[in-house]
């Protein structure tokens, strides 16, 4: 009926591809039912998009692995929009009550003021959870770039990327653009030596506003600046840094919200203003680009 009415795409809130998490989330659904709906949509030619949300109270490395490998299996067609996110513990929700009962949220008023709703409610330690999240985000990059790896092999791929970057930094000067916190964190997870390398620079279009796109948001920009300061790097604008003839590679970490728009903008700017600078993606480093 949707197809016949002119519908070309639907977005579904499946959230997880592990039945334990679906039960915990009270989704009243199963992975088998999700797969059935996806197959039905595929049969009649309606594209399907949706989200995987990590961080439920029952989340484990195994459940995250199951969800990510399911994503890779079921979302291999370019007409489907997929997103990977973390659960946000908004005030007034069930998860918020859980966090208060566990003592994770000690001061509800300060919690509101801080506005940082990504907290660890899983059975993993904070370090384990954060490592899993950043590793998952990197794997998501490979999914969207159609790189043929499984999540169980991600640590080997991270090691390969890290080794390639270390080798490149011996003879190249690299600008990470856009310099997001999650991209910097992924590089740090690969090796602290990469982040501290004097040949690695951070670039954002507007260091004092949002790091991506043309609009400025001072609050978000200030939070980003504070986070990036943890890595001991100054943030440059493209004109401040790329006019320096020593920069010969821009490393693009992937942007999860803009579906390639930011990459294309950066590519065009390099072609027009800095044609001698090579643009390299994370996923290309996994394929041995050096």
User: What are 20-29's pLDDT values in tens digits?
Assistant: 999 999 999 9
In the structure encoding, which two tokens stand for residue 195, read together?
A: 């982040």
**CATH topology match: 9-151 vs 153-285:** no
Per-residue pLDDT at 262 exceeds 70: yes
Is the distance from CB of 203 to CB of 235 less than 8 angstroms? yes
What is the chain's mean pLDDT, rounded? Answer: 83
Element (H, E) at 49: strand 47-54
State percent of the chain over pLDDT 70. Answer: 85
Is the distance from CB of 207 to CB of 254 less than 8 angstroms? no
Indicate the domain borders of the chain.
Answer: 9-151, 153-285
Mean pLDDT (whole number) for 264-279: 91
Mean pLDDT (whole number) for 283-289: 65
Binned at pLDDT 50, 70 and 90, residue 217 comes out as: very low
User: Facing residues of 281 across strands?
Assistant: 252
- Quote the pTM value: 0.74
CATH topology of domain 9-151: Transcription Regulator spoIIAA (3.30.750)
Alpha carbon distance 180, 123 (integer Å): 27
pLDDT recorded at residue 289? 41
The CATH code that applies to domain 153-285 is 3.40.50
Alpha carbon distance 97, 271 (integer Å): 51
Q: Can you tell me whether residue 176 is helix, strand or coil?
A: strand
Please tell me the least confidently modeled range out of 20-24, 89-93, 158-162: 158-162
């Amino acid at each position: 009926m949707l197809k016949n009415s002119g519908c070309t795409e639907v977005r579904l809130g499946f959230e997880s591809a592990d039945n334990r998490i679906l039960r915990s989330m009270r989704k009243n659904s199963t992975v088998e039912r999700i797969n059935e709906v996806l197959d039905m949509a595929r049969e009649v030619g309606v594209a399907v998009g949706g989200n995987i949300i990590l961080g439920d109270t029952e989340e484990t490395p195994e459940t995250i692995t199951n969800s990510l490998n399911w994503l890779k299996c079921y979302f291999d067609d370019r007409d489907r929009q997929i997103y990977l996110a973390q659960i946000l513990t908004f005030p007034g929700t069930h998860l918020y009550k859980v966090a208060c009962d566990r003592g994770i949220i000690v001061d509800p008023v300060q919690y509101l003021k801080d506005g940082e709703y990504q907290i660890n409610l899983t059975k993993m330690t904070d370090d384990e959870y954060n490592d899993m999240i950043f590793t998952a985000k990197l794997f998501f990059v490979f999914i969207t770039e159609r790189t043929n790896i499984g999540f169980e092999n991600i640590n080997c791929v991270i090691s390969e990327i890290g080794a390639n970057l270390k080798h490149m930094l011996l003879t190249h000067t690299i600008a990470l653009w856009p310099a997001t916190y999650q991209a910097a964190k992924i590089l740090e997870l690969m090796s602290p030596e990469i982040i501290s390398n004097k040949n690695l620079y951070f670039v954002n279009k507007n260091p004092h506003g949002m790091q991506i796109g043309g609009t400025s948001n001072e609050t978000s920009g200030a939070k980003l600046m504070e986070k990036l300061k943890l890595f001991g790097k100054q943030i440059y604008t493209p004109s401040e840094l790329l006019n320096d003839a020593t920069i010969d590679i821009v490393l693009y970490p992937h942007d999860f919200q803009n579906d390639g728009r930011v990459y294309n903008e950066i590519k065009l700017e390099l072609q027009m203003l800095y044609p001698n600078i090579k643009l390299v993606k994370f996923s290309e480093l996994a394929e041995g680009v050096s």
